[in-house]
Amino acid sequence: MATSTWTAALAMCAGAAVWLLTRRNHESHRLRKLLTPIAPQPSSNPRWPGLIATARARLRPEWWCLAAGATVALLGESVVPLAAGAAGVPLAAGVRRARDARRKRERRRAAVIAWLGELAAEVRAGRQPGDALRLTLQDPVASDAGPGAARSAVLAAARFGGDVPGALRSAAREPGAEGLLGLAACWRVAVDRGAGLAAGLDRLEAALRSERDQRADLRAQLAGARSTAVMLAALPVLGLLMGSALGAEPLRVLLHTGPGLTCLAVGAVLEGAGAWWALRIVRRAEER
């Protein structure tokens, strides 16, 4: 009876953790709360809403690993899956940070291309390069073209007659802003030799757009390979589910016997190495 009560309590805790993890978009929820008039609602304990909001803000998607480990630990009556889930949290956090950095880099590349188009349009309209640069840098489209400090340095150099190409090269060090190196070269050629800046900006924008399209096409072609690697990595989980459905009790064998634990450790190492190797091949192909 005590074991059943303990199992039910752990299941309730895991369910509560899963419910909290589903609320990922905390920023937009907080913005909607700020923009929507707040109606007074009676509450017996006003501290609970604040505690729940804080918990939702602190929880990250990587905590799914811990929730999954707790669920498997309940089913297999072992602490090994719980420890594995806890160890997987920092790994999942690293994957999430890498994914966010990749998305931020792509957004910055798109912002650089859009900014170059606006700058070329302003120059063709008859504005001086410095005036066009100052005007377009103040546009919201250029807000993602580089970090605030680098954008401020470029704006200051254009406003006070500083080294604009040098400021652009410094801003191009940020991931995704490599296209600013071409803008620095076009700017130096236009200023030193009197060449047309608009034509150079048009060619630079076209080259960056072509490179972005090629990268997107390559990513689409490699999507099948990535999906195959993920599917192969999920086959052991499917095998465990099929074994459980057939009544073979694979979790009891893997978690409560010496040979089972050995097979589990070796299989986990080989599974992780294979998934890392396959995804690394895909990433290297994308980089090339």
Res 60: pLDDT? 75
- The Cα–Cα gap between 239 and 185 comes to 58
**pLDDT tens digits along 41-87:** 444 454 656 666 665 656 777 888 888 888 888 888 888 888 888 88
pLDDT score recorded for residue 230: 83
Q: Which residues 6+ apart lie within 8 Å of 14 measured at CB?
A: 67, 70, 71, 74
Q: Which residue has the higher pLDDT, 225 or 208?
A: 208
Rounded Cα–Cα distance for residues 29 and 63 (Å): 20
143 — pLDDT class (breaks 50, 70, 90) = low
| Count of C-beta atoms within a 10 Å radius of residue 131 | 14
Planar angle of CA 83, 87, 88, nearest 5 degrees: 115
For residues 288 and 284, what is the distance between their CA atoms, to the nearest angstrom?
A: 6
Section 162-174 average pLDDT: 84
**Percent of the chain at pLDDT exceeding 90:** 2
Average pLDDT of the chain to the nearest whole number: 77
Least confident of 30-39, 64-73, 105-114, 135-144: 30-39
> What tokens were used for 183?
């803008």
- Please check whether residue 184 is in contact with residue 168, taking contact to mean a CB–CB distance below 8 angstroms: yes
49-83: string of b/e by CB count within 10 Å (b at 16+)? Answer: eeeeeeebeebeebbbbbbbbbbbbbebebebbbe
Q: What is each CA distance from 248 to 239, 241, 243, in whole angstroms?
A: 11, 10, 5
pLDDT for the residue 10: 56
Looking at the predicted structure, is the pLDDT value of residue 39 above 60? no
Q: What residues contact 262, with CB distance under 8 A and at least 6 apart?
A: none
pLDDT at 145: 58
- The per-residue pLDDT for 171 is 84
- Give the DSSP per-residue string, 172-224: TTSTT-THHHHHHHHHHHHHHH---HHHHHHHHHHHHHHHHHHHHHHHHHHHH
Query: CA 195 → CA 17, 180, 184, 189, 192, distances in Å?
Result: 62, 18, 14, 6, 8
Distance between CA atoms of 175 and 108, rounded to whole angstroms? 8
pLDDT at 83: 87
HSE-CB of 278 using CA atoms within 13 angstroms: 18
User: For 249-259, what is the mean pLDDT?
Assistant: 86
Q: What is the pLDDT of residues 1-38, one digit of tens each?
A: 445 555 555 556 555 555 555 544 444 454 345 445 44
Query: Which residue blocks in 36-143 are alpha helix, DSSP H?
Result: 47-58, 64-76, 80-124, 129-137
> Cβ contacts of residue 100 below 8 Å, gap of 6+?
none
What share of the chain in percent tops pLDDT 70? Answer: 73
- CA 32 to CA 25: how far, in whole Å? 11
Position 241 pLDDT exceeds 70 = yes
Distances (CA, A) of 260 to 73, 74, 249, 275: 15, 18, 12, 22
Q: Note whether 150 and 174 are within 8 A (CB).
A: yes
**Better-predicted residue by pLDDT, 109 or 129:** 109
39 vs 158, more confident: 158
